[in-house]
Structure 1
Amino acid sequence: MKIKEYRTQFIQELTPIYDAGEAESFFYLIVEEKHQLKRIDLALHPDLVFSEAEIVIWNSILEQLKQEIPVQYLLGKTSFYGLDFEVNENVLIPRPETEELVEWILKRQKLNPETSGESQNIRILDIGTGSGCIAISLAKNLPNATVFAIDVSEKALATAKKNAENNSVNVTFINQNILETEDLGQQFDIIVSNPPYVRNLEKEEIKKNVLDNEPHLALFVEDNDALIFYKKIAELAQKNLSENGRLYFEINQYLGKEMIDLLEKMNFAAIELRKDIYGNDRMVRASMK
């Protein structure tokens, strides 16, 4: 079968579940990963064909997509901040909003006269690292930084360690339950976290492919204690953030005011709430007074 004919069939079968643009993007992601063919290659060579064996593989992928298994899990990889990351059912799929958080940190470092340039001998801690996307991206772009990453899940850390190796960066990974931690044991110039923040009452807003496949441990918190991770991490930051250090969070879009109130009550300074590309309250930065 010609690839262009299979493409039409592929999109038609997925459009009851996904919109046509998303279904088409899946097709090109998969064809590039499985066959090293880009959209332009197919346009220039309209007579390219799939073998019968290749169609069997594609049909299997198609059926899994119909079950709303994320395409990133099917491919076993995704892109984040210009880097490739392995992903699986043990880690969340990195989001564009989190790339914005990384960009915010890096821009602030470049603007900081005390730590700008290649001599940024700073210490960074990423709490709840998952795939390692934040820690590894920061380590890649701040090569002289010393980067640590914590996660409660050993399986997530195994994936993060692979990602650090694949991206040729050195990150110290620690298996630790942050809610049971009383002291981080050392000082950090940056503490960053994208902890679980989706309340159970918001589950109906979560897409089925996320709800059924991504790890709930990394997603959800109880409705009556939605800021549990933020409060704990902020308490640790009070002890373990350096004098000029900064605390960064990705947050629940509905709890921006609550986050500001929490940090103000805990005597943090220079608190800044920032929206993401979709216009939602998504990131907070604060410093020690």
Structure 2
Amino acid sequence: MKIKQYRTQFIKELSPFYDAYEAESFFYLILEEKHKLRQIDLALNHELAFEENDFVIWDELVKHLKKEVPIQYLLGKTHFYGLDFEVNENVLIPRPETEELVEWIINENAGSEKSKKIKILDIGTGSGCIAISLAKNIPNAEVVAIDVSKKAIETAKRNAVRNNVDVTFVLLDILREEELRCQFDVIVSNPPYVRNLEKVEIKKNVLDYEPHLALFVEDTDALIFYRKIAELARKALFGTGKLYFEINQYLGKEMTDLLENMDFKNVELRKDIYDNDRMISCKVSKTL
């Protein structure tokens, strides 16, 4: 069968589960990953065809896509900030909003004196996407990344090798720590922040397949990780250091109040590409 014909069949078969644009994007992702063919290759040669045994691969992928397994898990990889990352059921799939947080940190730190090391801590690293992207784009960065999940740390280590960067990974439960023992210029975290009451808004492909440990917090204490990390950051940040968070879009005011009440200064709340409150930064107060 010609690949162009199969594309039509593929999109139609997935139409009860995805819109045509998303199904088509899946088609081209699979085509490139499994056959090393790009969309432009198909456009330039309408006669390209699949072999009979190719359909074994495609049928298996379609079966899982109908169950709404994330395409990134099926392919075992995703793109983030221009880099390739392994992803699996032990780590969250990196989001475009998180790329904006990375961009913010890079813009504020990449232009510093190259002779001065910038010490960065990423708390709750998951796939390592934040830590590795920062290490890749801030030449004088020394990056440490921690996570409570051993399997997530193992995945992040492979991603550091994959992207040829040096990051120190540490298995640690941040909620059990009384101090961070080292000082940093930048502390960043994208911790669990989705409240259980918001599960009704979460798509099946996220709710059923992505790790709940990295996603959800109790409704009664939605800011538990932010409060703990901010407490630790008060002592662990250098005097000119900054704390950055990705946050729950519904809790922008609560996050601003939390940091201001803890005597952080220059608290800045930013919106993401979807116009949701998504990122916040602050500096440690010199009076602390």
Report the TM-score range of the alignment, normalised by the length of the smaller protein.
over 0.9
The answer on whether the counterparts of 1:269 and 1:288 sit within 8 Å (CA) in structure 2 is yes
CA shift, 1:117, in A, is 4.7
Equivalent residue, structure 2, for 1:124: 120
Equivalent residue, structure 2, for 1:252: 248
Equivalent residue, structure 2, for 1:138: 134
CA shift, 1:143, in A, is 2.2
CA shift, 1:145, in A, is 1.0
* 1:42-76 residue CA offsets vs partner (Å, 9 max, x unmatched): 01111111111101110110110000000000000
The answer on whether the counterparts of 1:120 and 1:142 sit within 8 Å (CA) in structure 2 is no
Equivalent residue, structure 2, for 1:74: 74
3-state SS of 1:52 partner = coil
Q: Residue 231 of structure 1: which of 206, 227, 230 is its match?
A: 227
Cα distance between partner residues in 2 of 1:154 and 1:288: 31
Q: Which runs of 4+ in 1 moved over 6 A?
A: none
The answer on whether the counterparts of 2:256 and 2:267 sit within 8 Å (CA) in structure 1 is yes
1:216 aligns with 2:203: no
Relative to 1, partners in 2 of residues 1:117 and 1:22: Cα closer, same or farther, differing over 3 Å? farther
CA shift, 1:120, in A, is 4.5
TM alignment of 1:101-120, pairs within 5 A: 101-110=101-110, 116-120=112-116
* 1:193-246 residue CA offsets vs partner (Å, 9 max, x unmatched): 000000000001000000000000000000000000000000000110110000
Q: Residue 287 of structure 1: which of 252, 266, 283 is its match?
A: 283
Cα distance between partner residues in 2 of 1:231 and 1:146: 25
Cα distance between partner residues in 2 of 1:239 and 1:185: 9
3-state SS of 1:261 partner = helix
1:270 aligns with 2:266: yes
CA shift, 1:110, in A, is 4.2
The AA in structure 1 aligned to 2:155 is: T
The AA in structure 1 aligned to 2:204 is: K
Cα distance between partner residues in 2 of 1:110 and 1:287: 18
1:32 aligns with 2:32: yes
* 1:162-198 residue CA offsets vs partner (Å, 9 max, x unmatched): 0001101000000000000101001000000000000
1:17 aligns with 2:13: no
1:176 aligns with 2:184: no
The answer on whether the counterparts of 2:109 and 2:138 sit within 8 Å (CA) in structure 1 is no
1:92 aligns with 2:92: yes
The AA in structure 2 aligned to 1:41 is: D
Cα distance between partner residues in 2 of 1:40 and 1:145: 38
Judge which range, 272-281 or 35-44, deviates more.
35-44
The answer on whether the counterparts of 1:249 and 1:283 sit within 8 Å (CA) in structure 2 is yes
> Between the two proteins, what is the percent identity of the paired residues?
71
The AA in structure 1 aligned to 2:146 is: I
TM alignment of 1:130-169, pairs within 5 A: 130-169=126-165
3-state SS of 2:53 partner = helix
The answer for unaligned runs of 5 or more in structure 1 is none
3-state SS of 1:274 partner = strand
Cα distance between partner residues in 2 of 1:186 and 1:61: 46
3-state SS of 1:286 partner = strand
Equivalent residue, structure 2, for 1:47: 47
The AA in structure 1 aligned to 2:261 is: K
* 1:58-107 residue CA offsets vs partner (Å, 9 max, x unmatched): 01101100000000000000000000000000000000000000000011
CA shift, 1:119, in A, is 3.3
Equivalent residue, structure 2, for 1:193: 189
The answer on whether the counterparts of 1:118 and 1:142 sit within 8 Å (CA) in structure 2 is no
